[in-house]
Amino acid sequence: MAIASSRTARDALAFINGRVYTVDDSRPWVSAFIVSPSGHFSALGDDEEVMKQAREQKLIVYNLRGRFVMPGIHDAHTHLLSASLQQLNESAIGFDANEKTLAEKVKAGVCACAYAHVWGDWIIGNFYSADQFPNQKPDRQYLDDLFPDQPVIVREMSCHNILVNTEGLRRAGYDLAGASDPQGGRYIRRENGEITGELVESAATKAWMSLPPLAVAHVKRAILYGIRASLRYGITSCQEASANSVYLAALRELEQEGLLTMDIHTHIVYAPENFALESSASLHALLDVADTFRSKHIHTNFVKFWMDGAPLPPHFTQCDLDSSGQPDEKSLLIDQDTLFEAIKKYDAKGMTCKIHCAGEGSARRALDVIAAVRKLNPHATQHELAHCNAVHPGKYRI
């Protein structure tokens, strides 16, 4: 007995009466097209051309009624998962929170979340702006009265820095009296030397690494939420700027379940580990088996590095050039030797290294390392620098 199928030539669908941008210089605009059962454009032209083919193939015809149609957009840099988690289960406080309203806004935002206890009993809020607080110094004291026993993290608007209450600092093992600043980060301090709870760049590592692991099922929900939001704006493909093991596991399950309707190029984090909420050893092991996650919609050929922070007030954590014209080493999140060995390794595997460089110093360091790798391998992969806020077009060529 023959079983009916929706994959026959008869199941193609013709579209007419549209305003269709093709991105083909030889014929940039048409009004009609045919989509095959597999979802591919099999024909395009004016209404008369497409209707002739539709009649010959006995196809169903859909009238676009003048709507605009274009190919899907590829977003070359997005944080699909973290942005979705922020929407679904973080306390949205607005940018106007100050010393008087911060804690109440966090509490009210928690009640408005669609999902609770995603991070155990940790509360995460977004986003504060330092200029709303006295002397541009948000302090844990503004959270402690309302949250004396529950750990709280509030993201700063750049997402590179955070404010943590006293209980959160205690749980994460911070020295409240005033530990030394880590490489590539710093603690904002009170006049007596105690830390305020605002943790800049790498100083936030222990806090982020103290969070309980995310459930794969919730990661899947968040990814689907992000995909739906992206598709509404015509984004059908993206480069995920911060991927880790739970992300890849969730994508693989979604693909196996037939729910992954977007091409996702995962930038698996090499360093620093706090941007992936996963240990360096685990991330490096994941990179070694990245190709086992590849599928129709999952592309795992990117490695992600963060060289510095963000050029935003009041902290300005980008790496600039020092007085001698060299990268300011204290602002770098990855040292030169580590970066060189990593890029050499993944370049040899044909993987693309995507490097976050917000300042001219970090861009200089990344380009110098890429140039050194290219001397070893003249046919090296074309790697990418992200952001480059302080670099003028045409200043560097490699």
With the C-alpha atoms ordered 78, 81, 86, 88, is the resulting torsion angle positive or negative?
positive
10 Å CB burial of residue 342 (0-12, 13-18, 19+) is buried
Q: Which amino acid belongs to residue 71?
A: P
Report the alpha-carbon distance of residue 115 to residue 36 in Å, rounded: 39
Residues with pLDDT less than 50, the chain: 398
Q: Are 178 and 187 spatial neighbours (Cβ–Cβ below 8 Å)? A: yes
In 233-279, which ranges are continuous DSSP H helix?
245-256
The tokens describing 210, both together, are 């103290």
- 8 Å CB contact between 49 and 32: yes
Q: Is the distance from CB of 117 to CB of 277 less than 8 angstroms?
A: no
Please state which CATH class domain 81-209 belongs to.
Answer: alpha beta
- Give the architecture (CATH level 2) of 216-387: Alpha-Beta Barrel (3.20)
DSSP type of residue 18:
-
Gap between the Cα atoms of 387 and 87, Å rounded:
24
Q: Which two tokens stand for residue 134?
A: 């006295």
Task: For residues 132 and 102, give the distance between their C-alpha atoms in angstroms, rounded to a whole number.
Answer: 10
Tokens of 163: 């404010």
Say if CB 374 and CB 287 are below 8 A apart. no
| CA 22 distance to own-chain centroid | 29
pLDDT the model gives residue 349: 95
Phi, psi of 379, rounded to the nearest 5 degrees = -100, 35
Beta-bridge partners for 63: 16
- Look at the block and give the residue holding tokens 């607005």: 94
Look up tokens 């009265």; give the residue. Answer: 145
User: Which pTM does this prediction carry?
Assistant: 0.90
CA 197/CA 167 separation, integer angstroms: 10
**DSSP 8-state symbol, 324:** T
Distance CA 198, CA 189 (A): 8
pLDDT of the residue at 391: 67
In this predicted structure, what is the pLDDT of residue 10? 83
Give the pLDDT score at 6.
79
The residues spanned by each domain of the chain are 9-71, 81-209, 216-387
Phi, psi of 291 (to 5 degrees): -65, -20
Q: How does 19-39 read in b/e, with b if 16+ C-beta sit within 10 Å?
A: ebebeeeeeeebbbbbbeeee
Cβ pair 188, 153 in contact under 8 A: no
pLDDT at 38: 87
Cβ proximity of 301 and 350 under 8 Å: yes
Evaluate whether the domain defined by 9-71 bears CATH number 2.30.40.10.
Answer: yes
Query: Which pLDDT does position 20 carry in this prediction?
Result: 97
- Identify whether the C-beta of residue 72 lies closer than 8 Å to the C-beta of residue 237: yes
Model pLDDT, residue 186: 96
